Amino acid sequence: MAQALISRRAVLAATAAFAGTLAAPRVSAQPRARLVIVGGGFGGASAARFARDAFPDAEVTLIERSRSFTTCPYGNLVLAGMRTVESITFGYDGLARRGVRVVHDEVTAVDATSRTVRLANGAPIPYDRLIMSPGIDLRWGAIEGYTEAASARMPHGWVPYLQPITVLERQLRAMPDGGVFIMTIPANPFRCPPGPYERISMVAHYLKQVKPRSKVLALDAKDGFSKQPLFVEAWRELYGPMVEWVGASNDGRVTAVNPEAMTVTTEFGQTHKGAVVNVIPPQMAAKVARDAGLADQSGWCPVKAGTLESALVPGIHVIGDASIAAPMPKSGFVASTHGKQAVAAAMALIRGQAPPAPVYFNTCYSHVGTDYGISIVGIFRADGDRFIEVPNSGGISPRNEAMPPERRAEQRRLEALYADGWYESITREMFGLS
Amino acid sequence: MPVRARAKAGWVRRAAAIVVLGMSGFGATGPAVATDALRVALVTGGCTGCHGTTGEGGQGIPSIAQTKTRAEFIAMMKAFRDNQGNPTVMNRISRGYTDEEFALMAVRFAKPN
């Protein structure tokens, strides 16, 4: 390699020698770094795409048991009749074409000592560093009577690989006019803090058009929720008395369900009967992470804020919903920002270098009606091993009273459009389509 | 495993050139810290989630792909921080980043100087 880096020829030669590598160039005698990623969702797919773009010399393996991925985001728009489930479902060919080794198999165990991932069908896969993005499991039985079997009658629609959104969609379409759509909402932390409230909005949007005598009754284990003042003012404006939200202080916390009777019972003994009952149960990190010793007593996986490396098991990074990354919400965008940082950190650590200081970015858009979008923005950094939100930044969309009347409709219309733009941009990026 | 044959994005070459010129030599030991090119990729990792991989935008999200000079780009991000420029979301977003990070974003998205 040229010693004099001053001449233009030397600069060009050196730049060319990068061979697309954005980070430290590999000395030719070193073996290729082996990065293995478990889980092909927002975190894992984004990590795989970023790894291929930023570290073309690395071997990137993505293990995902399903051959297609239906996003949780925009599942609520399927309920509203605004999207088809096909339009929110993606394959892995794009990533494979970009050089990701995609392995469609189930992980049975992670051996952190020998640094291998064991599979149900294929040979074990060795790694230099492992990134786990396995998502969540539902806590069956945390609500009395809400077993996995019960979820056929009272769908959750919260984990697409367990239950497609079409199960809840079919029940909603079959609901008689005048029926009550009941939703039960868990305490924090759970996947997608604004998600239940977007679903309330999208269900109400559908019912108002097609079954206007119906009601939506939301029973919440909490008193506060994400973007609450925006949701509340939008529901008042768009759906009026059709939507009733009951917080924990007003006996909103559901403690038991009866799928045969289609009833739910609250903490202080009230019973409500629904024509459709959507139970969003308490959650935890997916089993594959818990079995690998990555979760603490909370059922979620503690990580170091700078690198997303597990606080419990060295050599393994945990990203996305499975991780404890508060104050960051459990969102797809957060998982994707985690994925990029985890890849950079993992590759630095493989090479014995200092990982770059992270900046994490999130915007959660919610659709409340047609041409009515709202959002929450957050930018986060690491302060030692803790995640912190950047002071005086981010925040929720302006409330109506904060805008001149002539601006309000435009703000809501643009945010609904931007939500669509976000969805298209991020899915094209994470699945290697752009 | 196939290696992508298509041309490296222009911003990668520009960012890589920054790194090469800043180093005293490489080969035997390699640089010890993350390169500017990697930092650009990480700092702009959130931008692409809405503006797209090349910044081309879509669905009403504006294109930021080489539409402004570096000075204009940085000035625009600073203006958003002060609620100027009729922002819908960019005021809330820009307040999360530093001036140095705006410059890194400009390496990727602005016209090359």
Q: Which residue of A has its CA nearest to B39?
A: A356
Q: How far is A349 from chain B (nearest CA, A)?
A: 11
Q: Which residues of chain A have a CB within 8 Å of the CB of B63?
A: none
Query: How far apart (Å, rounded) are the C-alpha atoms in residues A344 and A180?
Result: 49
Number of Cβ pairs closer than 8 Å across A and B?
A: 177
- Model confidence at A299, pLDDT cuts 50, 70, 90, reads very high
Q: What is the pLDDT of residue B41?
A: 97
Q: What is the pLDDT of residues A147-199, one digit of tens each?
A: 999 999 999 999 999 999 999 999 999 999 999 999 999 999 999 999 999 99
Average predicted confidence (pLDDT) for chain A: 94
Query: How far apart (Å, rounded) are the C-alpha atoms in residues A256 and B74?
Result: 55
Are A358 and B58 in contact (CB < 8 Å)? no
Does the structure show a pLDDT above 80 at A412?
yes
Q: What is the pLDDT of residue A3?
A: 36
Residue A237: CA atoms inside 13 Å, Cβ hemisphere, count? 15
Q: What is the pLDDT of residue B16?
A: 67
Does the structure show a pLDDT above 50 at A433?
yes
Among A64-73, A393-402, B5-14, which stretch is predicted with the lowest mean pLDDT? B5-14
- Model confidence at B32, pLDDT cuts 50, 70, 90, reads very low
pLDDT above 70 coverage of chain A, percent: 93
Q: What is the pLDDT of residue A10?
A: 41
Average pLDDT of span A415-419: 98
Angle at alpha carbon of residue A37, lines to A32 and A42, rounded to 5°? 135
Are A14 and B20 in contact (CB < 8 Å)? yes
Q: What is the pLDDT of residues A242-261, one digit of tens each?
A: 999 999 999 999 999 999 99
Report for A242-246, B29-33, B34-38: range of highest mean pLDDT: A242-246
**More confidently predicted of A348 and B14:** A348
Are A377 and B93 in contact (CB < 8 Å)? yes
Q: Which residues of chain B have a CB within 8 Å of the CB of A397?
A: 89
ipTM entry: 0.91
What does R_g of chain A's alpha carbons equal in angstroms?
23
Q: How far is A395 from chain B (nearest CA, A)?
A: 6
Q: What is the pLDDT of residue B27?
A: 29
Are B58 and A421 in contact (CB < 8 Å)? yes
Q: Which residue of B has its CA nearest to A394?
A: B92
Query: Among A364, A293, A352, which residue's Cα sits nearest to residue A328?
Result: A364
Query: Among A206, A200, A120, which residue's Cα sits nearest to residue A157?
Result: A200
Structure tokens at A379: 């930018």
Q: What is the pLDDT of residue B12?
A: 80
Mutate: best of A377, A381, A390, A413, partner B, most B CBs <10 A: A377
Query: How far apart (Å, rounded) are the C-alpha atoms in residues A417 and A423?
Result: 10
A394: alpha, beta or left? (left if phi > 0; alpha if psi -120 to 50)? left
Nearest to A5 among B12, B23, B30 (CB): B23
Does the structure show a pLDDT above 90 at A343?
yes
Are A23 and B16 in contact (CB < 8 Å)? no
Q: Which residue of A has its CA nearest to B55?
A: A425
Are B21 and A340 in contact (CB < 8 Å)? no
Are B61 and A418 in contact (CB < 8 Å)? yes
Does the structure show a pLDDT above 60 at B75?
yes
Are B38 and A22 in contact (CB < 8 Å)? yes
Q: What is the pLDDT of residue A6?
A: 38
Query: How far apart (Å, rounded) are the C-alpha atoms in residues A294 and A299?
Result: 9
Q: Between β-strands A59-63 and A34-38, what pairing exists: parallel, antiparallel or unpaired?
A: parallel
Q: Which residues of chain B have a CB within 8 Å of the CB of A428?
A: 52-53
Lateral strand order in the sheet of A59-63: A101-103, A59-63, A34-38, A129-132, A316-318
User: φ, ψ for residue A408 (rounded to 5)?
Assistant: -60, -50
Q: Which residues of chain B have a CB within 8 Å of the CB of A434?
A: 52-54
Q: What is the pLDDT of residue A25?
A: 53
Q: What is the pLDDT of residue A28?
A: 58
Mutate: best of B24, B92, B108, B109, partner A, most A CBs <10 A: B92
Q: Which residue of A has its CA nearest to B2?
A: A99
Q: Between β-strands A116-119 and A323-324, what pairing exists: parallel, antiparallel or unpaired?
A: unpaired
Nearest to B88 among A353, A392, A418 (CB): A418
- Model confidence at A15, pLDDT cuts 50, 70, 90, reads very low
Q: What is the pLDDT of residues A16-47, one digit of tens each?
A: 333 344 555 555 567 899 999 999 999 999 99
Are A344 and B34 in contact (CB < 8 Å)? yes
- Model confidence at B10, pLDDT cuts 50, 70, 90, reads confident
Query: How far apart (Å, rounded) are the C-alpha atoms in residues A191 and A93?
Result: 27
Average pLDDT of span A377-381: 98
Q: What is the pLDDT of residues A70-79, one digit of tens each?
A: 999 999 999 9
Q: DSSP string covering A130-158, please?
A: EEE---EEE-TTSSBT--TTHHHHS----
Q: How far is A410 from chain B (nearest CA, A)?
A: 9
Nearest to B89 among A20, A52, A418 (CB): A418
Are A341 and B16 in contact (CB < 8 Å)? no
